[in-house]
Amino acid sequence: MTNKQFQNKYVLVTGASTGIGQQIAKDFLLEGAHVAAHYCNNKKEAEKLLEFSKNCTLIQADFSQSDDVMKLWDEFIAWSKGKIDVLVNNAGAIYDPAPFSELSMESWERTQQVNLKAPFLLSRAALAVMAKRKEGRIINISSGGWLHGGGEETMHYSASKAGLEAITKAFAKVGARNNVLVNAVRAGATDTPFHKKMGRTNIAARVDYIPLKRLAKTTEISNAVLFLASDNSSYTTNTIISVTGGE
């Protein structure tokens, strides 16, 4: 049973076709929100969200292209009739993991584009709308891995997440003037298909580093996001909530 705490709220969730993003979108829908769920290639998985509520719409965009990021924003604003209550920057990617001595500049730049530049562009656009209404929430999904520098082959991913937390704090300082709260959830290793995309084969070795000795559930990350979007966090901004199992 839910209390529909986000009834009539307009929410944009990026990277919502699978994993953490899909869970976040689903939970907002179950709480009564109107949700625009962004996906890049996996339309089939994204369409599963349509089963939860008629208040869901899907928007495709390739965040490795800045023009596509702004195209998504324009489509969202047209759908929501100019309103946005919550932006969740969840979309993330890691291109061609490799030791830094072999890492191509294309892989570096595409990873920064998706994980850092796209959230910057969307946050800037959302903040302008939210500031006029004197309320709004921007929530970025970071990664606990960057605190340790990441793996030898994932430096570009870790750097992008460190940057994401930096712009979270910068946007929070500006947003506070107009009651726009900006925070991040630092997600630990989570049970999603992302590990396979990263080429990680030995999950047990990764889990061994986690004090709680297990991967996070997607619901555990989503719970933190919904808290930050709710009235229960009305005095919380410029904060990074770590959901990392003790890492």
The catalytic residue positions are 157
Cite the DSSP H helix spans in the chain.
19-30, 43-46, 66-80, 105-112, 118-133, 155-175, 194-197, 203-207, 218-229
What six digits make up the tokens of 77? 């604003």
Give the Cα separation of 56 and 51 in Å (integer). 9
Give the Cα separation of 69 and 143 in Å (integer). 22
What six digits make up the tokens of 221? 């990350």
Give the Cα separation of 44 and 48 in Å (integer). 7
Give the Cα separation of 207 and 186 in Å (integer). 17
Beta strand 240-243 pairing with 10-13: unpaired
Give the Cα separation of 102 and 49 in Å (integer). 39
Instruction: Give the DSSP letter string of 135-154.
Output: -EEEEEEEEGGGGGT--TT-
